[in-house]
Amino acid sequence: MSKASILLLFGSNVQKYRKELKLSQEKLAELAGVHRTYIGMIERAEKNITLCNMEKIAKALNIPVAQLLQE
């Protein structure tokens, strides 16, 4: 899988699960302990996310990290 593909998949899944929980980008950022603009950049696949931040976002969404990488 290419770098662009994995970023698109991850971002799409973050957005999907965030919307299922009816969370704004700002609220998800608050729960994950990251800046609010960071979530938007991840959802648009503009940011290469670190493993630590992947874990923070997964915990905020209450799902395993692996679930954010599934097609």
Give pLDDT, residue 55: 98
**DSSP helix/strand/coil, 16:** helix
The verdict on domain 3-61 having CATH code 1.10.260.40 is: yes
Give pLDDT, residue 3: 83
Question: What pLDDT, in 10s, does the model give residues 6-29?
Answer: 999 999 999 999 999 999 999 999
Question: What pLDDT, in 10s, does the model give residues 24-68?
Answer: 999 999 999 999 999 999 999 999 999 999 999 999 999 999 999
- Closest listed residue to residue 32, CA positions, set 52, 59, 13, 68: 59
Question: At which residue do the structure tokens 């609220």 appear?
Answer: 27
Can you give the pTM of this predicted structure?
0.94
